[in-house]
C-alpha cells in the first residue's frame, strides 16, 4: 500500500469523487478541492506529496493555482490532468516545473504510475 498523500484539484464533482475512490482503493491518501482557492488554503494548512491539478476551472484557473503552489510549496510535484489539450499550455506547464501533463480521460494505471513516481521524488 502507498502512503502518498495526494491533493486532487478539479471542479468536476463526479470526476473528483470517482477519482478519489479509485486512488484511495489503490492505497493513496486523497484529499480533494473543487476550486483553486480551496486548494491553496489546504496546501497552506497541510503537506501533500503530490498535487493533481486541472487547468480549466472557474474563478482561479489551474495556471494561477500552479503558480501559487510553486510559491507556497515549491517541492511538491504537480501533475496537470486536463481535458482541454493545448500544446502551448503543455510546454508552458512543463517549463514552469510541472511533473507531468496528462490528458483526460487518463488510464488509471498510467495516472497511478505517475503519482507513485512523483511521490517517490520527495
DSSP one-letter string for 36-80: HHHHHHHHHHS--SEEEE-S--SSS-HHHHHHHHHHH-TTS-EEE
Please state which architecture CATH assigns to domain 5-120: 3-Layer(aba) Sandwich (3.40)
Residue 120 has a pLDDT of 86
User: Looking at residues 92-104, what average pLDDT do you find?
Assistant: 91
**Taking 50 as the threshold, does the pLDDT of residue 1 lie above it?**
no
User: Looking at residues 33-54, what average pLDDT do you find?
Assistant: 96
Report whether 97 contacts 78 (CB < 8 A): yes
Name which residue leads in pLDDT, 99 or 58: 99
Q: Which phi and psi angles does 92 have, rounded to 5°? A: -65, -45
> Per-residue b/e over 63-83, b at no fewer than 16 CB within 10 Å?
bebbebbeeebeebbbbbbbe
Q: Which of 37, 14, 16 is nearest to 6 (CA)?
A: 16
Amino acid at each position: 500500500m502507498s502512503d502518498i498523500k495526494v491533493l486532487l484539484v478539479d471542479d468536476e464533482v463526479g470526476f473528483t469523487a470517482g477519482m478519489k475512490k479509485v486512488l484511495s482503493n489503490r492505497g493513496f491518501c486523497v484529499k480533494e478541492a473543487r476550486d483553486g482557492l480551496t486548494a491553496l488554503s489546504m496546501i497552506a494548512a497541510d503537506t501533500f506529496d503530490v498535487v493533481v491539478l486541472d487547468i480549466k476551472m472557474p474563478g482561479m484557473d489551474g495556471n494561477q493555482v500552479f503558480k501559487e503552489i510553486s510559491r507556497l510549496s515549491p517541492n511538491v510535484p504537480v501533475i496537470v490532468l486536463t481535458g482541454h489539450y493545448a500544446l502551448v499550455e503543455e510546454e508552458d506547464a512543463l517549463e514552469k516545473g510541472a511533473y507531468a501533463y496528462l490528458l483526460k480521460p487518463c488510464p488509471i494505471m498510467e495516472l497511478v504510475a505517475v503519482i507513485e513516481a512523483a511521490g517517490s521524488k520527495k
